[in-house]
Amino acid sequence: MESLSRSRFLGLAAVTVLTMLPVTAVVPVLKPLIADRYGVRDLAASTFMSLNMLGALAGAPLAGWLSDRRGWTLRLLVPAAFADAALWAAMSSTPPFWVLSILRFLEGAAHIAVLSLLLAVASRGAGHGARRMRTAAMGGAVVLGVAVGAPLGGLLGTPSPIVPLQTGAVVMVVVACCTMGLVPARGFVPRPDAHPRLPSLHAPPALRLPYLFAFVDRLSVGFFVYAFPMYAARVLRLEPSETGALIGVFMLPFALLCYPAGRLGAVLGQWRLVLGGSLGYGIVYAAIPWLGEGTLWFAMVAGGLLSAVMFGPVLVLVLDASDDATRASAMAGFNFAGSLGFLIGPLAAGALLQLATPSAGVLGASRLTFAVGAASQLLAVLWALWRLRRGVRPTAAA
């Protein structure tokens, strides 16, 4: 595949930001959009947040496999982006809940195909050091889109919770059009022997621990994106715009520091940052439902900083464990692991809130839910420390 110029890379990073905007735009309006509009309970409402991740579990390996096996990039990216736009538009038409659920599943498959291919394309055609920095920068672009999407969704959704869905459709049309001018028409070198990369079954040893942290990070985020809006609405009595602003305060430092964290990892060691960031993030995460509204803003900033310290280096570790011929599958596997975590997170959070509320109240249920999400981070740190102390070095750069 031809080398990407600096201007094309920056364009792809901007497109990646746009691609991620719709993902969190629906989070601040989750209660009026699903729970109130359809009259469903916590578990059913949290299922809506998870169904696109179930679609992503199918879409990520398939997109990576087709790209590696056939050498396709633009031929996959543009149709997937247009399909994503059409699905957002269909969801905004207020279909029955079962139809909405199917559309949400399909949207997840289309979205993850776009994201996996953008990440793979951005790292091609550069030296190893430049690829590392570009990968960390793309991680920052992913999180920046997530960070901007939450407050944007809160503002757009205040008059009507349908507006963020309609905005998602428009944004993905823009993404499809932009990729036609930014992604080289000539794809990757075909690999006829390529197979779908599933983290638990096909991942090389060098990818397994990075995939574990991708899973655990998105698991805790899955807990957060469902439990926090419910906690903010039911306990703190915040408006969607205020909830979106709080989520944005968490995500913005996360996005801005992904690239510096990737550079810092080259000096201090990627695994030191991953483990230290995960430990600190778990502690702050568990504290969120114990804090008052004023202190909560500082906790959100701290959580975002620690997330960046963890997320950027994990992406670099995935890069180090793959080469140009397998990068699409490696990035797809990273997204598969993350999507699996995001699938389980909202479902588990919804189940905990629904089961615990009668006995513990909304506040007690929220505290239990956040504690479980934090425990997943701490357990991953303990497991990785045990593996590393045994001399298991996941990558040469570790």
Ranges of each domain in the chain:
6-389
Nearest residue to 306 via CA among 325, 284, 328, 333? 284
Mean pLDDT for each 10-residue chunk of the chain (398 residues)?
71 92 84 81 75 82 69 78 96 90 93 86 64 76 81 85 93 94 63 50 70 88 78 81 79 76 77 89 90 85 83 80 70 80 81 68 81 90 85 46
pTM: 0.70
Alpha carbons 223 and 216: distance in angstroms, whole number: 11
pLDDT value at residue 173:
97
Alpha carbons 149 and 153: distance in angstroms, whole number: 6
pLDDT value at residue 323:
67
CATH superfamily of 6-389: MFS general substrate transporter like domains (1.20.1250.20)
Helix spans in the chain (H): 6-25, 30, 37-38, 42-70, 74-91, 97-122, 128-157, 163-182, 205-234, 240-268, 270-287, 293-320, 327-389
